[in-house]
Amino acid sequence: MSDHDYRPKSKVGQWFNDRLPLLTLANHLTDYPTPKNLNYWWTFGGILTFCLITQIVTGLTLAMHYIAHADMAFESVEHIMRDVNYGWLIRYIHANGASMFFLAVYIHIFRSLFYGSYKAPREIIWIIGIIIYLLMMAAAFMGYVLPWGQMSFWGATVITNLFSAIPLVGEGIVTWLWGGYSVDNPTLTRFFTLHYLIPFLILGLVVLHIWALHVPGNNNPVGIDVKKPSKDTVPFHPYIVIKDGFALLMFMIVFAFFVFYAPNILGHADNYIEANPMVTPAHIVPEWYLLPFYAILRSVPDKLLGVVAMLSAILILAVLPWLDTSKIRSAVFRPLYKQFYWILVADVLILGYVGAMPAEGLYLLIARVATAYYFLHFLVILPVLGFKEKTLPVPLSITEPVLGGSPNLAAARNKESKIE
Amino acid sequence: MKNLFKLFSIIILIITSNSYSFAAEKVEYLKTDWSFKGIFGKFDRASLQRGYQVYTEVCASCHSMKYLSYRNLAEPGGPEFSEAQAKAIAASFEVTDGPNSDGEMFTRPGKLSDKFVMPYDNVKAAQAANGGAYPPDMSVLVKARGGGVDYIYSLLQGYEEAPSNVSLDDGVYYNKYMYGNKIRMAAPLSDGLVEYGDGTNATVEQMSKDVTTFLMWSAEPHLESRHQMGFKAIVYLIILTILVYFSMKKIWSRVESEV
């Protein structure tokens, strides 16, 4: 942060700021120089902040009426839906908000993959982001257990049972996680506690995520370092604030559509049946945002190796900055990487699809091929590509092309608008 | 701008196509016009009142509705019986209350604040009376079945003679919309089974539609206010988005860059 020379105008402001430099922080946040060529894919950071705050506010309200007890949880949710003033609205925002949160985070992650935002000097931002993503999955999974419907109960049983794959201590760990010999009241109460805790951990990590971002500043679609502040940048306020606000409003329209007109379309009907340990549902499926990893888990015939594969699929992202050997950030100037990028996107969507289907026959075969390709992309294609790929010449700055005019800038702009 | 719109439509498409459709063998459900579908969808009051009649005269002998109270019958957005009617309905049921000051349980006529009286004391009693099958609670039944209202509506009309290659045990019936085609509930409806007060002809189709409408309301009692609020919220958001869009254009016109 280079703006230490800021000094509040009023005497009171100076007095306060000398003791706690909150005004310096506020000034830093408003003046923060941002590349002016950021496209709408960059608005999802702000959207995600909105999602987190929405989940926390609605979650706190729900917790005032929810009862974390195996005999009363389902009924208390119905009480919220029927008798609490606007309880149905708060619960539907919270339930669909989780889906919206993941939708936004996937776009955010894939934006980072396309424009190479994880590369030096932004590795720490990226790794904090992966930790946030892991915590989000934990929070979402435990939140889905709380209504104590059939999918809650059986989802919790399947996922916690994964730990039994650990040799020797596996069974013991599962019993310890459950607080008993099956998913039951102790499991529910601890999941509720952790579900309440994790969002605040995420909030803290988001502060670090943004802090780490403000050291090098934003990456941008061209993927080059920009001088700050310069003709290439605009102050965060009002330029980025209004743009983020506009994108957020568009996002909220989609969000509102789900909440008001299709509030249950993303959930599973079985979760409106109260949990029953005696009856197993025909298909146990996680929420849509976990399906690609569920597909990876099921594509490996061995239980332990399946769990290892699933965890590696996420953790491999943490070392991505070192797996990608290319010095060029933006895919705009990496013709080969760009193609592999879209294949990866398709691969993950296919994994999500087969994750929702029964693990047999053709679906299982597709899941195996897609799983293999997923790891191939990160472990082989990316490292090799950095050495083999012929990249396009990169412009020197966003506004001023190389002396004599760079043909690539025009090409870059063209391509940006295409993928926007 | 155009691209952004495209982006959001793709997002919606991906999500909705990703929603679970699991019926292993897909059956075409019977279709009917539901008044509560769509952006302005509302319940048909008369149909809800008839549906309540079908529920209470037919279904309620086996199926509970434990999350509903008699007061709900008079609340806006529901069947909207008058308060006097709802009170009369409640009073027609015997409710166990207590213990009184002598420590005894006693029965009294129902009040608006009482939950719907359940046909059986507990799940075991319900199973014992129904050959081992538990008639599910109907409060949120519509939301607890993949096909929703269309499934329930079809199921009620889906009883047929079993094909010759299907053998049925005693107390099991053939229904072409049931998962696996075998159901422990005998065909609950037959033409003229109830006598509608408003003179509507009580065909199986009519009763199925009325009772399914009633079940939709019981699962989503705030559906009407949800639809109304949703319309206002989305119109408000669209107007605000347009205003913010032009403000953004104005602000960004100061710098040489596109938004």
What predicted TM-score, i.e. pTM, was given to this entire model? 0.92
Answer yes or no: are the C-beta atoms of A94 and A258 closer than 8 Å. Answer: no
What gap in Å lies between CA A125 and CA A210, rounded to an integer?
Answer: 8
Contacts of B13 in chain A (CB under 8 A): none
Which residue(s) pair with A233 in the sheet?
Answer: A35
- The Cα–Cα gap between A85 and B23 comes to 36
CB within 8 Å: B248 and A242: yes
| Smallest CA–CA distance from A271 into chain B, residue | B144
CA R_g for chain B: 24
**DSSP, residue by residue, B16-73:** HHHS----SS--PPP----TT-STT----HHHHHHHHHHHHHTGGGT---TT-BGGGG
Mean pLDDT rounded to a whole number for chain A: 93
Give the per-residue pLDDT at A402. 42
Lowest mean pLDDT among A206-220, B6-20, B36-50, B103-117: B6-20
CA A362 to chain centre: 30
Grade residue A116 by pLDDT with cuts at 50, 70 and 90: very high
The whole-number pLDDT of residue B86 equals 98
A22 close contact with B: CB closer than 8 A: no
Structure tokens given for B65: 């509705």
Q: Which of B19, B72, B255 sits opposite A36 (nearest CB)?
A: B255
For B199-240, how does the pLDDT look when each residue is reduced to its tens digit (9 = 90+)?
999 999 999 999 999 999 999 999 999 999 999 999 999 999
CA dihedral angle for residue B20, residue B25, residue B28, residue B30, rounded to 10 degrees: -90
Of the pLDDT bands very low, low, confident and very high (cuts 50, 70, 90), residue B21 is very low
DSSP B204: H
CA distance linking residue A172 with residue A179, whole number of Å: 10
CB contact under 8 A, A273 and B146: no
Residue A405 has pLDDT above 50, yes or no: no
Beta bridge partners of A235: A33
The mean per-residue pLDDT over the stretch A125-141 comes to 98
Looking at residue A412, what is its pLDDT? 54
- HSE at residue B102, side-chain half, CA atoms within 13 A, is 3
d(CA B153, CA A161): 38
- Given this model, what pLDDT does residue A414 score? 56
Search chain A and give the residue with CA nearest B252.
A239
DSSP A247-316: HHHHHHHHHHHHHHH-TTTTS-GGGGSB--TT---S-----GGGHHHHHHHHHSSSHHHHHHHHHHHHHG
Q: How many contacts (CB atoms, under 8 Å) link A and B? A: 120
pLDDT at B90: 97
pLDDT at B13 over 70: no
Q: Tell me, what's the pLDDT at A411?
A: 56
Residue B169 has a pLDDT of: 87
State the average pLDDT for chain B: 91
Is pLDDT above 80 for A126? Answer: yes
Q: Provide the CB-side half-sphere exposure for A337 (13 A, CA).
A: 27
3-state per-residue secondary structure call for B154-178: HHHCCECCCCCCCCCCCCCEEECCC
Q: Could you give the angle at which helices A241-261 and A87-115 cross, rounded to 10 degrees?
A: 130
Residue B8 has pLDDT above 90, yes or no: no
Nearest to A264 among B143, B238, B241 (CB): B143
Instruction: Give the closest-approach CA distance of B126 to chain A in angstroms.
Output: 16
Cα B255 → chain centroid: 55
Distances (CA, A) of A305 to A162, A177, A286: 11, 21, 20
Q: Do A273 and B144 touch (CB under 8 A)?
A: yes
Q: Looking at residue B222, what is its pLDDT?
A: 98
Across the interface, do A242 and B15 touch by the CB < 8 Å criterion?
A: no
What is the predicted pLDDT for the residue at A70? 97
Query: Who wins on pLDDT, A136 or A418?
Result: A136
List all residues of chain A from 67 to 86 with a beta carbon under 8 Å from chain B.
75, 78, 81-82
Residue of B nearest to A350 (CA): B18
The residue of B244, B249, B250 whose CB has the most chain A CBs within 10 angstroms, and thus the best one to mutate to test that interface, is: B244
Q: Could you report the per-residue pLDDT of B120-158, keeping only the tens digit for each?
A: 999 999 999 998 899 999 999 999 999 999 999 999 999
Q: Do A103 and B139 touch (CB under 8 A)?
A: no
Confidence category of residue A413, pLDDT binned at 50, 70, 90: low
CA A144 – CA A148 distance, rounded (Å) = 8
Chain A residue numbers with beta carbons less than 8 Å from the beta carbon of B16 are 262, 265
pLDDT at B179 over 90: no
Position A339 scores a pLDDT of: 97
State ipTM.
0.90
Query: Is the Cα dihedral A202, A203, A208, A213 positive or negative?
Result: positive
Q: Is A246 on the interface with B (CB under 8 A)?
A: yes
Residues of B in contact with A229 (CB under 8 A): none
Contact B145 A269 (CB under 8 A): yes
Inform me whether the pLDDT recorded for A125 exceeds 90.
yes
Whether A2 shows a pLDDT value over 50: the answer reads: no
**pLDDT (average), residues A69-97:** 98
Residue type, B90: A
Cβ(A261)–Cβ(B227) below 8 Å:
yes
- Summarised one tens digit per residue, pLDDT across range A242-295 is 999 999 999 999 999 999 999 999 999 999 999 999 999 988 999 999 999 999
Residue B11: its pLDDT value, please? 57
